[in-house]
Amino acid sequence: MISIDNKVAVVTGAGRGIGRAIAFELAQAGARVVLAARSRSELEDTARTIGSAASVIPTDVRDKDQVHALLDQTSSAIGPIDILVNAAGLGIFGRVVEFRDEDFATLIETNLRGTFYTCRFVLPSMIQRKTGDIVNIASIAGKVGSATRAVYCASKFGVVGFTESLAEEVREQGIRVSVVCPGSTNTSFSADKKGKALERMLSPEDVAAAVRMMVTQSRNAFISEIVMRPTQKP
């Protein structure tokens, strides 16, 4: 395993849930972490938990200009970005015949297009330095479809396919692009909790530990995908 002491990591969706846990885990491993999400108050709460290793830059990943500003400000104020974790995401569920156009746009723009923007803007510097780690958080819903989740699954299938393809584009330049697909996780996605035993679900910290393993792997190898499930079905 390699050290990430003083490496610069940007984590989207860092205000709560999986993103918050990942930010804390990377900071514990020695990284300087930039926290990005729409809610400044949630980011500041995460930063207080982490301490001086954390910086806050409120960002809506659906907005191309805000994403560009996030990465520019990070590079200028802290240094070149070594690790990018795309954990920003949301879930809106419902039958296709009843699904609203605005909810479709929100899901795709947040879960998929936001990931595209961050990757596209961070890559030139990584390519120039011939090093970098990108980890995209997808879902089991990016591997298996299910009723009332067609649009959500489409967005997460998209993240998986995008990640696999991007990994092939940049692996020869020393950049590792990986995806984590968690199963039922005890976060604010209330629809995932209905009728389930919360103590059997994955915790955000379980996912964070997987991300830490990915970015501390020896540089001559990379873990391209992790699919995580609870040991017992919730």
Residues recognised as catalytic: 152
Residue carrying the six token digits 């514990």: 28
Task: Compute the distance between CA of residue 19 and CA of residue 72 in angstroms, rounded to an integer.
Answer: 21
Q: Give the whole-angstrom CA distance, residue 74 versus residue 69.
A: 8
Q: Give φ, ψ of 130 to 5 degrees.
A: 60, 40
**Spatial distance between the Cα atoms of 25 and 163, rounded to a whole number of angstroms:** 22
- Compute φ and ψ for 225, nearest 5 degrees: -155, 140
The answer to whether 215 and 133 are in contact (CB under 8 A) is yes
CA angle 15, 9, 202 (to 5 degrees): 50
